[in-house]
Structure 1
């Protein structure tokens, strides 16, 4: 008891000295060293192929106990209250790979963490929740997976949370809805799910809510209208449904409102331009079900630059002043029910001429009609995409087409455009997609089209183009699909277009009047998936070189004059799904591989001269016994095969003696037939000389007696598209048109009877008429030149018979 007064001050001094020593020396050393160990742990879990963190290695390899890591690349150290402590890590876009170390949670003074745009994988460490002073977390553009840790909900000072473009899952928004300091939430392009909680409305500082391309579902909460500081609300490509709450359109600070690719519905408020005057992006495209008119008040949103309303049910007229402020860069209203019929309905196009930076104009598949106004020539020369397809627009694009030199996409398909293709189309050197199909363009395909070497898709089908296919198209070395079908093209197939190795999707020249043989250069198309040369006048054999087209899935050669055998080397086409060789003059047996192929889903060999036995066995996967996917019709010399084909049995040869006997019989029959033919010809010549007038023969000597082949394209041209002005008669089974056909540079007026297949018994009438007329011979009856059953430009069945015109007969007298 007596010692206490003496020793207490001393003990107190010793204790205070010890405490000060710990505070001044020991504690800073231990906390700094803890940060050093955390950084080194982070470094040990990643790879650094660019050697971006070489300064870390150099400093940690010296002999000092605690290196000055505050000088390391991407590391920032403390403020005046925490000197020597790590407060920021900025290592974005350095190519770092590996996982994020759990030891980062030991950086308790960390305010800023940015590891974005690297190749980090694995889970986000839950230990980061220990960094209670974090204000920014940016882990975007990596390959992280798993869940965002639930403990992140304690980071009350967090203002920026960015995990965009990863592979993260879970219901993240519930975790974040308590962090009232948040200003930015960016979860773009992950697999987050769950609903958008109403509690997000408590984040009154929130300015950017970017939830695009996830799997969020349910409704959009009406309480989000309380976020009065929100400038971006982007929920594109989720699973949201229901009506968009009207309160969302009351957030006057909104600049970006993007709702596309959901199942949302509703309509745009008529006063949206007054409620959202700062609007820059408005998107309700793709899958949403918005309807009603496009509000005229949008012209009040003076900063509007991107209007994406494609794929909804908007109807009525486009507001005439939609582009009055001149800031629109993208205007997309395709696939709606909008209309324009009168000249004044097209006034919106005049206002768009104010938009000098307009690069995308999309009016595709609406109800626009009438002649395209001349104001289109005043649109921005910055246009890169112009899509007017699937409307009823008329006019002559040649007057304005060459003006837009920066176009990469031009779709005018399925309209009523006329005129010729302009020669200056070749100056659109940036063009990649060109679709002018299903219009009324005429004349020749310009040689200059071959100058557009960036072209990847070309479709000129279903027009009235004539002349030959220009060889300059062989310069299109980037093209993947070329469709010139259903025109009036003639001449031979240019070898140049068969050497374009970039063709991988489609080459279609069908339903034209092309002649000559199939060039052997077709073998260069070894990556092409579909070839369609059907309904032309091609002759010769199927080239053996086609065996090199090993990626072919669809091959259509029907409706030509091909002859010879089916190449056996077609068995190299191991992915072939559809093969149509019908209506040719092919001979010989059916190759075995066609009978046993397991990939063929459709096979048509009908109307040829194939012969020999159909061998077997036929596997269950073959198409031979499916009447809708296989046809051998009108090959009378085939025999055998499975019962489902109902072919006659093949004759068997018992012995050499029987063969010898049958040979004698065949020789005897042939000699008898020859004698009979000689006698018949002699009698015919004698009778013909005795017959009176021969003017009928002189009238059509230029015509081919051997069943002339006439294409649908030629009939279409001869009758002026089956014009009512050319109709000279009609009956119970069809109509008769007058037309002018050319043959060997001569012209002949003919009568063309077209059967109406929609009437009952029309097909039987066609067969009966053919059978009757082939037996009748009388000088007072008009001679039938040819009959045919084929397909029109729409792929529908088309039957016609061609007679010499009565007018010619009378004029010959």
Structure 2
């Protein structure tokens, strides 16, 4: 009989607990082993560990030890779970410099709560296995090189609060499974290539505080459900392709601190009562949408508003006057919109901004704000450091007490500011950038400007500044850009500004009236990238010292008076991309080394006196790079240049020929001077002698009867024009056995001054020979059929009428004439007239002043080439000085007469230049100088000044059609033309350009005009 044994209850309980403990220990060791293998697998796939952070991970001997695994002591690894002390809860390797891929075995870290691998160089895909880390609260993989899609399995991470994979190379759609992450607080996928259309499911993420989709390719609308994200603090969807309206509830989220809608296609308008609370943040993004609407006119709920970023949208209407009413604004950026101000009350928003004592940034630039500001900017916050008012139509003077502010940036460019630069501007000691370009500032550059030693950018271009460049500008120690171009500065280039060591980006002194040579101190600018001294009156040789500027990528010296040869030291400038030495007086050979400048995209040596063979290698074989026109003594070179072949004669023989030519030229000059002196001493003072001299010069004179027959007895049907001293008829005369159409100017001798006009015109016409001046064929001086005195000039017939008929169609029967004068044709006519005046002023002795330049005295031929006519008021300039008279008659036509003639000043070439300037403005505005101007101006010159330089398209004649990009047209043609016209119409005669400089300027514009094929 078997003995029955009974186990005590206490023993059974002990055995059970022991068995459970052994089972738990075994499982813990197994799981710890999985964490260890996951970490080692991660390390194995890391190719580079520059900071040796993973070096501690080599200690694995006790990794599976009972309750304290060694890996919990490794750098970047934490085991903080009290219930599971041997499990990994945090892996933080942010900014460790790691290179490699993410191991899929990290998904075995099932108790992981924080995974931060941001700011490394990890590549490959995001492992799908990470969806198994069910305890994850934060996953940050941003700022790496990860690619592929976002795994849908990540939607299983139900406790995830932070999801940041921004700044990678991820693609595809956002998985809808992420809508399950109802605890998500931060959702950031910015700067990837992820796309999608339907974002409505994202509205389920109601716990979000940070939502960032910027820098992707999302399309469609922003869902209305986004307005339910009651905890939202940071919202950014900038730089996508979103469209439609912005849900209004988003603007009423009381928690929102940052709202970025930039770079999209959003439309609609903002609500009238917006309660956006934007506490201070440290991140400023520029917005660039097609977001249309108005800025809310009331900010009653936005009492905490500190930062408002609405830049680069299409907001329109007025800036709300209450915008700064609560006084908490620190940053206001609403520039680059279509905001308006047309009367003083529209500027009242500035009054409310005076309440904002902590305002540091004010940007209202690139809008349509017009008129004068109602308050002084200096009344704003003393903390204000950044002001941008550029690209508006603000008038008035620059406030003189700006120095009260702590400005670091001041941008007033592209406005209508007048007056002078404040003399106290030098007290802005910490200013780093000054942009006052494209205004109407005149006067001198203040010496105090040189006191701003922290200045980095200085742009004063396109104003009316005069005087010399202050030497105090040499005090700058950090300046990188200096642009003083397009003013009327005179004097020499101060050597002090050529020794600024920080001047590395750009030095632009072009389009002024600077004289003298380039100082040798130019060698100190050995880090400068761009240098432009073009369109001045600089002379002497190009200094060898310029070869020390070895970092130059652009060197422009065109349109000066430089002599001598191209210096050999330019061989050092191998970084050049643009080299323009055109329109100077350079001579000698083209240096061979230029052929090896492989980076050059524009080499312009045209219109000099260069001679000898043209290199036939390197860049000279590229027709798109090289320009050598206007150098008549060049030979050889590539065939596209069409220069004659170079002769192979003996060099000694060529030297003899050169010497012979020089001696011949000297002898000829002496003879001409002697003859001129002889003629001048024998010249009779009687005006009738001038007539006889002219008549004797004619090969054949014509009778009254012949003119009567040619004009059908001076029939009204043949009358083509009338002037103050007579009428002009058309007719046909037999000349050299050919029937030739002519214009016959018959003097009305009963008109006072007509005889003198005839004699003056005879004396002037006998001296001139130029294809842009109307040619005289013969004269008639005798008696008519009634025995009365008769005088007439027979001129070549110019078939297309006067420029006046073409510009002002209502004065002619040809209603479509003005429509055919496009921008290019007007420009060509302007150049024709300038060349004719240049000939009269500078290429005949003595010079002739026309005295009556106007459209009706300019005739157009079949090819619309202009010919200047009517020399009845011309003045032949004598060597003797002119003196004022107490009684005088103003020569010229009202509207075109130089202002100094009204005060009795003598006739001068500067008077012609003024008339030409008015003509130029009339040609391109289509407005006569005697028109009534409704903008408050009293004359054509002031009318153009009021629009220069920002509103030129508004005053451009609508008939002056053109092709091409509007911005290019304004920069290349329209702005330079109007600037030239205003320069010719300066109040002071000595400040006006000379006609030879006008022609140079027009040729330079023509080159840019032709290069872009505008018409």
- With the length of structure 2 as denominator, give the TM-score of the two structures: 0.64
- CA shift at 1:3, angstroms? 8.9
- Residue 305 of structure 2: aligned partner: 304
Listed as ranges, the matches of 1:391-430 within 5 Å are 391-405=392-406, 407-430=407-430
- Residue 976 of structure 2: aligned partner: 795
Distance verdict in 2 for CA 1:420–1:765, change over 3 Å: closer
- CA shift at 1:57, angstroms? 6.3
Single out whichever of 484-493 and 118-127 deviates more from structure 2.
118-127
The alignment partner of 2:112 has SS state of coil
Aligned equivalent of 1:632, options 605, 629, 632: 629
Contact between 2:453 and 2:478, CA under 8 Å: does it hold in 1?
yes
- CA shift at 1:345, angstroms? 1.4
Distance verdict in 2 for CA 1:22–1:605, change over 3 Å: same
The alignment partner of 2:160 has SS state of coil
Question: What are the Cα deviations for residues 274-301 of structure 1, in whole angstroms up to 9, with x where unaligned?
Answer: xx56788999963312223211133431
- CA shift at 1:413, angstroms? 0.7
Single out whichever of 592-601 and 357-366 deviates more from structure 2.
592-601
- Residue 545 of structure 2: aligned partner: 545
- Residue 592 of structure 2: aligned partner: 592
Single out whichever of 467-476 and 295-304 deviates more from structure 2.
467-476
Alignment coverage as a number of residue pairs:
734
- CA shift at 1:766, angstroms? 3.7
Contact between 1:60 and 1:67, CA under 8 Å: does it hold in 2?
no
Contact between 2:372 and 2:394, CA under 8 Å: does it hold in 1?
yes
- CA shift at 1:541, angstroms? 0.8
* CA distance in structure 2 between the aligned counterparts of 1:617 and 1:549, rounded to whole angstroms: 25
* CA distance in structure 2 between the aligned counterparts of 1:458 and 1:62, rounded to whole angstroms: 65
Contact between 2:198 and 2:220, CA under 8 Å: does it hold in 1?
yes
- CA shift at 1:333, angstroms? 1.5
Question: What are the Cα deviations for residues 223-279 of structure 1, in whole angstroms up to 9, with x where unaligned?
Answer: 333434434321122232333344544655544332111222222122333xx5678
Distance verdict in 2 for CA 1:768–1:257, change over 3 Å: closer
* CA distance in structure 2 between the aligned counterparts of 1:557 and 1:100, rounded to whole angstroms: 58
* CA distance in structure 2 between the aligned counterparts of 1:398 and 1:410, rounded to whole angstroms: 12
- CA shift at 1:197, angstroms? 2.9
- Residue 758 of structure 1: aligned partner: 826
- CA shift at 1:768, angstroms? 4.0
Question: What are the Cα deviations for residues 661-692 of structure 1, in whole angstroms up to 9, with x where unaligned?
Answer: x9888888877776665555445445545568
- Residue 809 of structure 1: aligned partner: none
Listed as ranges, the matches of 1:90-239 within 5 Å are 90=92, 92=94, 99-117=101-119, 120-195=122-197, 197-239=199-241
- Residue 380 of structure 1: aligned partner: 381
Question: What are the Cα deviations for residues 387-423 of structure 1, in whole angstroms up to 9, with x where unaligned?
Answer: 0011121233242321222x22210011122333334
Contact between 1:541 and 1:564, CA under 8 Å: does it hold in 2?
yes
Contact between 1:122 and 1:144, CA under 8 Å: does it hold in 2?
yes
Distance verdict in 2 for CA 1:62–1:435, change over 3 Å: same
Contact between 2:541 and 2:562, CA under 8 Å: does it hold in 1?
yes
* CA distance in structure 2 between the aligned counterparts of 1:371 and 1:218, rounded to whole angstroms: 42
How large is the Cα RMSD of the aligned pairs? Answer: 4.3
* CA distance in structure 1 between the aligned counterparts of 2:802 and 2:975, rounded to whole angstroms: 24
- CA shift at 1:574, angstroms? 3.4
- CA shift at 1:483, angstroms? 0.4
* CA distance in structure 1 between the aligned counterparts of 2:847 and 2:242, rounded to whole angstroms: 77
Distance verdict in 2 for CA 1:623–1:496, change over 3 Å: farther
Contact between 2:423 and 2:448, CA under 8 Å: does it hold in 1?
yes
Contact between 1:598 and 1:622, CA under 8 Å: does it hold in 2?
no
- Residue 370 of structure 1: aligned partner: 371
- CA shift at 1:535, angstroms? 1.7
* CA distance in structure 2 between the aligned counterparts of 1:278 and 1:565, rounded to whole angstroms: 65
Listed as ranges, the matches of 1:268-283 within 5 Å are 268-273=270-275, 276=276
- Residue 467 of structure 1: aligned partner: 467
* CA distance in structure 2 between the aligned counterparts of 1:354 and 1:29, rounded to whole angstroms: 67
Contact between 2:554 and 2:579, CA under 8 Å: does it hold in 1?
yes
Distance verdict in 2 for CA 1:252–1:672, change over 3 Å: closer
- CA shift at 1:757, angstroms? 8.1
* CA distance in structure 2 between the aligned counterparts of 1:675 and 1:53, rounded to whole angstroms: 93
Contact between 2:124 and 2:148, CA under 8 Å: does it hold in 1?
yes
Contact between 1:257 and 1:283, CA under 8 Å: does it hold in 2?
no
* CA distance in structure 1 between the aligned counterparts of 2:405 and 2:344, rounded to whole angstroms: 23
* CA distance in structure 2 between the aligned counterparts of 1:615 and 1:86, rounded to whole angstroms: 75
Distance verdict in 2 for CA 1:111–1:580, change over 3 Å: closer
Question: What are the Cα deviations for residues 60-102 of structure 1, in whole angstroms up to 9, with x where unaligned?
Answer: 6799675465555655445554344333345555666655444
Listed as ranges, the matches of 1:524-543 within 5 Å are 524-543=524-543
Listed as ranges, the matches of 1:8-157 within 5 Å are 16=16, 19-39=19-39, 41-42=41-42, 67=69, 70=72, 75-77=77-79, 79=81, 81-90=83-92, 92=94, 99-117=101-119, 120-157=122-159
Single out whichever of 509-518 and 757-766 deviates more from structure 2.
757-766
Distance verdict in 2 for CA 1:733–1:496, change over 3 Å: farther
Distance verdict in 2 for CA 1:263–1:663, change over 3 Å: closer
- Residue 457 of structure 1: aligned partner: 457
Tell me if 1:330 matches 2:398. no
Unaligned 5+ runs, structure 2: 686-800, 805-823, 849-874, 879-907, 918-971, 990-1015
Single out whichever of 335-344 and 421-430 deviates more from structure 2.
421-430
Distance verdict in 2 for CA 1:145–1:679, change over 3 Å: closer
Contact between 2:152 and 2:178, CA under 8 Å: does it hold in 1?
no
* CA distance in structure 1 between the aligned counterparts of 2:99 and 2:645, rounded to whole angstroms: 71
- CA shift at 1:576, angstroms? 3.0
The alignment partner of 1:795 has SS state of helix
* CA distance in structure 2 between the aligned counterparts of 1:562 and 1:337, rounded to whole angstroms: 47
Question: What are the Cα deviations for residues 346-383 of structure 1, in whole angstroms up to 9, with x where unaligned?
Answer: 11001111112211111112121222233422211222
- Residue 616 of structure 2: aligned partner: 616
Tell me if 1:781 matches 2:876. yes
Single out whichever of 779-788 and 71-80 deviates more from structure 2.
779-788
- CA shift at 1:320, angstroms? 0.7
* CA distance in structure 2 between the aligned counterparts of 1:26 and 1:177, rounded to whole angstroms: 38
- CA shift at 1:40, angstroms? 5.0
Question: What are the Cα deviations for residues 515-559 of structure 1, in whole angstroms up to 9, with x where unaligned?
Answer: 221123323333333211012221111122323333433221122
Contact between 1:163 and 1:187, CA under 8 Å: does it hold in 2?
yes
Question: What are the Cα deviations for residues 27-68 of structure 1, in whole angstroms up to 9, with x where unaligned?
Answer: 334334443454455556656655667876679679967546
Single out whichever of 59-68 and 260-269 deviates more from structure 2.
59-68
Contact between 1:600 and 1:622, CA under 8 Å: does it hold in 2?
no
Single out whichever of 407-416 and 89-98 deviates more from structure 2.
89-98
* CA distance in structure 2 between the aligned counterparts of 1:444 and 1:652, rounded to whole angstroms: 57
- Residue 354 of structure 1: aligned partner: 355
* CA distance in structure 1 between the aligned counterparts of 2:277 and 2:634, rounded to whole angstroms: 77
- Residue 321 of structure 1: aligned partner: 322
Unaligned 5+ runs, structure 1: 694-730, 735-755, 807-813
* CA distance in structure 2 between the aligned counterparts of 1:383 and 1:498, rounded to whole angstroms: 33
Single out whichever of 332-341 and 92-101 deviates more from structure 2.
92-101
The alignment partner of 1:399 has SS state of coil
* CA distance in structure 1 between the aligned counterparts of 2:669 and 2:356, rounded to whole angstroms: 82
